[in-house]
Structure 1
């Protein structure tokens, strides 16, 4: 199809959306929540009061932030605690580069505040819409040679299911820290976290197209030779967009006008129109993804890290796509990609119209967060967006997980997966599983913070 016709089609569907959309702003409609009640506390005392009330009423409690999740991690028919108003900066220790914040602060607001203090996080994910505790509790990560987001948390303030308040530091209850970092909301209500930061730094960034073969041949060297590296691609198109970031002492010269093509044309218009059009015309999916990747190229430039590492400023609602992500050992990355392509092609050959976008990132193994996808393992993260919600996506993800099973794939906690107790013990170890439940027994003996998801995974 001629490129002018494609752009015309995008204009039609994007305008149709603008004229007909409801005033509705959640990440997606899978799953739908039916809570007994929803609370919006303003401070610690109100949170404690809500939890004590739930305990007396024998109701479950789940906290929510931005709901950036495709799993049923926050499902409950009990009480929901919305953390949007728990968004305060509690203190800044500039000498030791630490900041203490309430649980509900959005990452984008945290990053902006830190920049004013000449601070930044060592790493961050591709988007910055999540709340800080929602992000760490599900294992949000970026790419590069630092840890995942949760690894930067050194202290917690938490409330157990009886309404008791605890400070968790290197001197007090320190054995809880590796589990609270990615605690899935199953251990306690996390009121505040203390974050270890870096000085604000500038990155030289560029985005360059390559072929799939070049990406597969060079992924290790690209990862090893750059401070941060990732790539995005469509599985059946020979177009891969490589992202390179490296620290620099040069000053940033970026201006707002430089970002207009990406923020307004590529992100706000082209990407949204492309994704929404796939719902009505999935047969043009591959070409639309190519067009989007082509539009995301960038020449070498300098920018502050907090702006550059999270470039997707206005993410698309997950109403339009579903996401799965696996972490495999970096040496198994090629075979994992081959397995995915094999399965993808088999569905296309059967006549299914499915459109996928892959995002591939890399990190070393650390042991700070015991339920991290990269726990003690150099990891390649493979994120798969099935953009048009084709009818058999559940079957597709199930088959993919089975095909990757020999390579011990660790799914992202906040995305679609089929984890259960047996699989978790196999992926993270029986000792980790048992110690996680020991802390649950201490902080939540009546399983107030549990739901079907937690019961399936941890009993």
Structure 2
């Protein structure tokens, strides 16, 4: 029997929206997912699938049925000969990292949050950093999709290949990803380093840092000339005990930062001083461990986030304009701005489609006004051909998205083929991607 839950209100992690689903369903097998799809189609209900609820946009908002794949989780098969792993769609990234680590393997790259489900991370184009690597979706070699007909189709470059590049970043609008095969690597030991440098030094060394580090990112602190650089590279050093490292992350990057954030919320004029203090507090550190232990950090402090992907060659100009705009407009913001790099890919709705990319993430503490700050940062991102992260806040309309994504019309053609009656639809997606009226669809 399929587990169901009746809830009055469902909220995402960041509390940027609330939903009132008729019910939440927890299938524990692929057959149960198929049964839910068939029943929803029969009753003319729509379905949205939720992972960890870490998207800031209304991708899963619904008044009909919400599906969680939490019970459809775990590794089905580890293929050491081909260095691949097949996992169910609800598997959380931290769970996958731990299980792979025990067997001596890892994903080639991860983001800085690892609570998402693998299906959710794929569907929204979640990414890490490192110009040798694409987003997490590019690690997929095969996926199993339950379509609106209630059937399971296998999609890869060899089977149903016409759907492959559309299915890997699909916003959950083509069907339900119930299982995926990922390419993996032998788990190396990484040396993680963090240090602060002057912004002038970054200007001179940015290309070198991007090209010579396996994983590289940096944080720009508003109103400060100091930035934090983080790198991860393979080392022959032995892995260390991370207890002190994790305690430091919890105490400094979460609990202390929460207190400082509350001060900024109550007294917004302190934001400039808090940002500068945070920059000065960055210390030099180095630690060696396995990748799944280092990529992600716990996030307790809640915030609003907007993230844009721009062509890598525009990064230096964008940095300068962002800094100048913050100083000129005197925004009350203390959260650092995060910069990462991602390799170009050929996935139709990937923000990195056909271009090596810099991802720039803007944050504002929950409870503090963010609209003007995000609006002006978005204008800068638009100037530099910015594509929004699908899971982060933005204001791009359908017409603009069609200009930014040359394969969006082709994607919608496939969506109409696989889900002709809009079973995997909600109002947000209808408005975001725009259904062509001639298609006579119930919804997107």
Q: TM-score, normalized by length of structure 1?
A: 0.87
The alignment partner of 1:158 has SS state of strand
Match in the other structure for 1:452? 427
In structure 2, distance between residues paired with 1:207 and 1:41: 42
Q: 1:290 offset after TM fit, Å? A: 4.3
How far apart, in 2, do the equivalents of 1:36 and 1:202 lie?
47
2 CA distance for matches of 1:333 and 1:100?
Answer: 36
Instruction: Give the stretch that moved more between structures: 113-122 or 211-220.
Output: 211-220
Distance in 1 separating the partners of 2:357 and 2:241: 35
Q: 3-state DSSP class of the match of 1:255? A: coil
Residue number in structure 2 paired with 1:435: 410
> So what's the TM-score if we normalise by structure 2?
0.90
2:219 to 211, 225, 232: 232
Query: Judging changes above 3 Å, is the alpha-carbon distance between structure 1 residues 67 and 317 closer, same or farther for their aligned structure 2 residues?
Result: farther
Q: Which moved more, 1:267-276 or 1:115-124?
A: 267-276
- Listed one character per residue, the Cα deviations across residues 87-133 of structure 1 (whole Å, up to 9, x for unaligned) are 12111111111111111111001000011111101111011111111
Please state how far the C-alpha of 1:362 moved relative to its aligned partner.
1.2
Q: Equivalent of 2:397, from 410, 420, 423?
A: 420
Distance in structure 2 (CA, Å) of the matches to 1:43 and 1:295: 49
Is contact 1:282-1:388 (8 Å) kept?
A: no
Question: 2:32 — aligned with what?
Answer: 46
Distance 1:411 1:338, change over 3 A: same
1:262 matched to 2:248 = yes
Question: 2-side partners of 1:308 and 1:410: how far apart?
Answer: 28
Displacement of 1:230 after TM fit?
Answer: 0.5
Cα-to-partner distance string for 1:40-61 (whole Å, 9 max, x where unaligned) = 1111122111111111111111
Aligned to 2:339: 360
Q: CA deviation at 1:234?
A: 1.2
Match for 2:146 among 154, 159, 164? Answer: 159
**Correspondence for 2:18:** 32
Residue number in structure 2 paired with 1:315? 299
- Deviation at 1:443? 1.2
Instruction: Give CA deviations for 1:418-457 in whole Å, capped at 9, x if unaligned.
Output: 223322222121xx11221121112100011122222123
What residue ranges of structure 2 are gaps of 5+ in the alignment? 1-9, 435-444
* 1:292-342 C-alpha deviation (Å, 9 max, x unpaired): 4555534333211121222x1x21253xx2111111111111222233233
Specify which of 110, 118, 126 is matched with residue 112 of structure 2. 126
- In the alignment, the residues of structure 2 paired with residue 342 and residue 256 of structure 1 have an alpha-carbon distance, to the nearest angstrom, of 38
Three-state SS of the structure 2 residue aligned to 1:230 is strand
- For residues 69-148 of structure 1, the aligned pairs below 5 Å read 69-144=55-130, 145-148=132-135
1:279 aligns with 2:265: yes
**Structure 1: segments with no counterpart, 5+ residues:** 1-23
Paired residue for 2:387?
410
Q: 1:251 to 1:403 in 2, by over 3 A?
A: closer
Q: Is the 8 A contact 2:219 2:336 kept in 1?
A: yes
In structure 1, the residue corresponding to 2:19 is in which secondary structure? coil
Q: 1:398 aligns with which of 344, 354, 375?
A: 375
1:197–1:246: structure 2 CA closer, same or farther, 3 Å change rule? same
| Contact 2:50 2:67 (C-alpha < 8 Å) held by counterparts | yes
In the alignment, is the contact (CA less than 8 A) between 2:309 and 2:388 conserved in 1? yes
Give me the whole-angstrom Cα distance separating, in 1, the residues matched to 2:99 and 2:18. 33
Alignment partner of 2:287 out of 277, 301, 307: 301
| In structure 2, distance between residues paired with 1:139 and 1:331 | 21
Rounded Cα–Cα distance in structure 1 between residues aligned with 2:232 and 2:380: 33
Measured in 1, the distance between the counterparts of 2:422 and 2:371 equals 29
- Match of 1:175, SS? helix
Contact 2:193/2:287, CA 8 A, preserved across alignment: yes
Counterparts of 1:275 and 1:66, CA distance in 2: 24
Q: 1:268 to 1:453 in 2, by over 3 A?
A: same
**Residue equivalent to 1:4:** none
Deviates more, 1:100-109 or 1:209-218: 209-218
SS in 2 for 1:279: helix
Distance verdict in 2 for CA 1:257–1:107, change over 3 Å? closer
